[in-house]
């Protein structure tokens, strides 16, 4: 076999691995909603929400409790990624990436700002002020932002087939949540809810594009670990102390976290979220931002199946039609002949 | 903080799906997929690194 054929084979294998990473990320993202939902009913979060709602109202209670849950979630992700990188022998690589502030760290710190306090907080704001369906549709639009940015910023190729697949997926998302949105947007929508909704696709879309740039020079496992260390620092060093200074009892409830059940549920939330994210990051350099983000919006289908199997929530027909459209979009992307494409960039 | 009775009741009421022992199997599923991801990472590193 000549060198050209060997390189071509390796290219095909890498693309297939990229699709596998994206699919693994999709499944774990969908499963994350199980612990993510039940955390809200466990103490100290349930008590915290109730106590703050009495004094400061439901909106403040929702936001402040969301911040504490997100901060513990980020911490749990740092723990599980230490296990991941430890077992892959990449903790040394993490140290090296951290020291390289100019080419590496600045990108992943920026990615953590867009992914954490912009996208995740935006989700909670949109859910609290408008509704869950609105927040979910907004999240489904993040590949559009990521794809356009990656294309304009560093010339990532978008094939016609990838565009068609993404179109199907977005249509599926709109069908799934269309009815809910119509109901939620029937009344007057507060401006802050709209801002929260815009924060989600901008946050995750920009994070993907920034991470794609940083991954030109960094190793994905170490990069993702660094991104979550940065997010954890943002929550625990900046946001939580500010909220405590403003008068919210953040530390009282944070110290009440050490109960075996809530710690176990948080560990599994961190495991699903952390490994989902690392698979997502690993797929970027192999298949590109557009395809990786397009495939992972199929998390909606996984969420529907998981909620039915574990919570007994029965999906209605719009969910099934939307899910079918999403799967059709993924099939269009998967069936693309990747053997002729030597680079994901122009 | 120990979980209150209300918190525990609400927590266990969530796991009402058709999956047998849903309150335990969700963790098993996450563990299996995570272990698969880690195995995939090790295999990928062996092939390409």
Question: What are phi and psi for residue B16, nearest 5 degrees?
Answer: -115, 20
Confidence tier at A151 by pLDDT (50, 70, 90)? confident
Residues of chain A with pLDDT > 90, as a percent, come to 18
Which residues are within 8 A (CB) of A23 and not within 5 positions of it... i.e. 6 or more apart?
A: A295
Domain count for chain A: 1
Asked, for residue A255, whether it belongs to a domain, the answer is yes
Question: What is the average per-residue pLDDT within A143-170?
Answer: 76
Cβ distance A42 to B25 less than 8 Å, yes or no, reads no
Distance, CA of B16 to chain centre: 16
Cβ distance A275 to B34 less than 8 Å, yes or no, reads yes
Who wins on pLDDT, A139 or A189? A139
pLDDT at A241 over 90: yes
Question: What is the average per-residue pLDDT within A7-26?
Answer: 82
pLDDT at A186 over 70: no
Residues 8-67 of A with CB under 8 A from B: 10, 13-14, 17, 20-21, 24, 27-28, 31, 34-35, 37-38, 41-44, 46-47
Q: Render pLDDT for B3-45 as a digit per residue (tens, 0 to 9).
A: 888 889 999 999 998 999 999 999 999 999 999 999 988 887 7
Asked, for residue A253, whether it belongs to a domain, the answer is yes
* Range(s) of the domain holding residue A330: 3-334
Tokens read off for B40: 């995939």
Asked, for residue A342, whether it belongs to a domain, the answer is no
Cβ distance B16 to A37 less than 8 Å, yes or no, reads no
Which residues are within 8 A (CB) of A164 and not within 5 positions of it... i.e. 6 or more apart?
A: A329, A332
CA dist list (Å): A143 to A315, B37, B47: 25, 23, 29
Q: For position A25, what pLDDT does the model report?
A: 92
Instruction: Tell me which chain A residue has its CA closest to the CA of residue B49.
Output: A219
Asked, for residue A97, whether it belongs to a domain, the answer is yes
Tokens read off for A232: 């954890």
pLDDT at A342 over 60: no
Q: State the pTM of this model.
A: 0.82
Q: For position A40, what pLDDT does the model report?
A: 85
Q: For position A243, what pLDDT does the model report?
A: 93
ipTM of the complex: 0.93
Q: Render pLDDT for A257-272 as a digit per residue (tens, 0 to 9).
A: 999 999 999 999 999 9
Tokens read off for A262: 């809530």
Asked, for residue A137, whether it belongs to a domain, the answer is yes
Measure CB to CB from residue A43 to each of B7, B36, B48 and give the nearest one.
B7
- Mean pLDDT, chain A, as a whole number? 80
Measure CB to CB from residue A271 to each of B4, B30, B45 and give the nearest one.
B30
Question: What is the average per-residue pLDDT within A199-204?
Answer: 86
Q: Render pLDDT for A114-144 as a digit per residue (tens, 0 to 9).
A: 888 888 778 767 766 666 666 666 677 777 7
CA dist list (Å): A7 to A51, A108, A156, A291, B42: 61, 30, 21, 22, 21
- What's the gap in Å between the CA of B40 and the closest CA on chain A? 8
Instruction: Please tell me if residue A272 touches chain B, with a CB cutoff of 8 Å.
Output: yes
Print burial letters for A134-159: b (CB count within 10 Å at least 16), e (below 16). Answer: bbbbbbbbbbbbbbbbbbeeeebebb
pLDDT at B2 over 70: yes
- Rounded CA-CA distance A64/A58 in Å is 10
Cβ atoms of A292 and A284 within 8 Å: the answer is yes
């Amino acid at each position: 076999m000549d060198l050209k054929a060997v390189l071509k084979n390796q290219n095909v294998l890498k693309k297939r691995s990229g699709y596998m990473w994206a699919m693994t990320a999709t499944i774990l993202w969908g499963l994350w909603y199980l612990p993510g939902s039940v955390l809200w009913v466990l103490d100290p979060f349930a008590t915290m929400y109730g106590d703050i709602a009495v004094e400061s109202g439901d909106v403040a209670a929702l936001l402040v409790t969301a911040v504490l849950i997100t901060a513990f979630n980020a911490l749990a992700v740092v723990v599980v990624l230490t296990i991941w990188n430890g077992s892959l022998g990449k903790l040394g690589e993490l140290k090296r990436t951290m020291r390289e502030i100019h080419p590496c760290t600045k990108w992943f710190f920026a990615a953590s700002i867009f992914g954490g306090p912009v996208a995740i907080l935006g989700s909670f704001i949109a859910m609290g002020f408008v509704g869950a369906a609105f927040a979910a549709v907004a999240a489904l639009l993040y590949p559009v932002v990521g794809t356009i940015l990656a294309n304009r910023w560093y010339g990532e190729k978008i094939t016609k087939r990838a565009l068609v697949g993404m179109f199907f997926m977005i249509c599926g998302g709109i069908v799934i949540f269309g009815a809910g949105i119509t109901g939620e947007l029937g009344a007057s929508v507060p401006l802050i809810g709209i801002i929260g909704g815009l924060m989600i696709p901008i946050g995750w879309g920009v994070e993907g594009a920034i991470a794609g740039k940083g991954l030109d020079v960094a190793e994905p496992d170490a990069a993702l670990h660094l991104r979550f260390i940065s997010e954890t620092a943002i929550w625990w060093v900046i946001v939580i102390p500010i909220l405590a200074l403003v008068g919210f009892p953040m530390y009282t409830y944070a110290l009440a976290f050490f109960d075996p059940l809530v710690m176990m549920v948080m560990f599994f939330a961190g495991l699903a979220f952390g490994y989902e994210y690392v698979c997502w990051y690993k797929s970027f350099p192999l298949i590109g931002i557009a395809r990786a983000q397009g495939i992972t919006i199929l998390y909606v289908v996984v969420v529907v199946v998981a909620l039915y199997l574990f919570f007994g929530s029965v999906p209605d027909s719009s969910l099934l039609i939307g899910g079918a459209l999403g799967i059709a979009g993924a099939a269009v992307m998967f069936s693309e002949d990747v053997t002729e494409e030597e680079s994901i960039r122009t | 903080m120990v979980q209150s009775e209300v918190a525990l009741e609400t927590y266990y009421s969530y796991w009402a799906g058709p999956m047998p022992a849903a309150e335990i199997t969700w963790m098993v599923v996450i563990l299996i997929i995570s272990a698969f991801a880690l195995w995939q990472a090790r295999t990928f590193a062996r092939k390409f690194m």
